[in-house]
Amino acid sequence: MKKRRNHDAGFKARVALEAVKGERTVSELAAEYGVHPTMIHQWKKALLEGAADIFERGGGKKAPEVDEDTVRALHAKIGELAVANDFLSRKLKPWTGK
């Protein structure tokens, strides 16, 4: 059974750009680079959909929106886990000899 290959972003961008140029067919590119034509179509689509984001004003990437309820729930979970960890470490001390 073949193992899946992971291609880096630079490789995907290079192949997608060649597909967008249209100088060669997707089948020719797939044969040259050893990837399935469907993957090239997906990379090309992702490139075209994300191209507008490059020219957005304000520089870098947008900060993801944070849901305050989710943050509160995660902080509560961290607190619970910290208490449980502390409790278990105290209970294990007699057996570990520390």
Q: Which two tokens stand for residue 52?
A: 């507008």
Average pLDDT of the residues of the chain? 88
Give the pLDDT confidence score for residue 95 in this predicted structure. 77
Give the pLDDT confidence score for residue 59 in this predicted structure. 61
Domain ranges for the chain, please list them: 1-55, 67-98
CB atoms near residue 13 (< 10 Å): 14
pTM of the model: 0.55
Residue 98 has pLDDT above 70, yes or no: no
- Higher-pLDDT residue of 2, 87: 87
Class of domain 1-55: mainly alpha
Q: In sequence order, what DSSP letters do the residues of the chain get, joined into one string?
A: -PPPP---HHHHHHHHHHHHHTSS-HHHHHHHHT--HHHHHHHHHHHHHHHHHHT-TTSSPPPPP--HHHHHHHHHHHHHHHHHHHHHHHHHHHHHT-
Residue range 36-46: mean pLDDT, rounded = 95
The Cα–Cα gap between 17 and 43 comes to 9
Residues 42-90: tens digit of each pLDDT? 999 999 998 888 887 766 666 678 889 999 999 999 999 999 999 999 8
Closest by Cα among 4, 48, 1, 2 to 22: 48
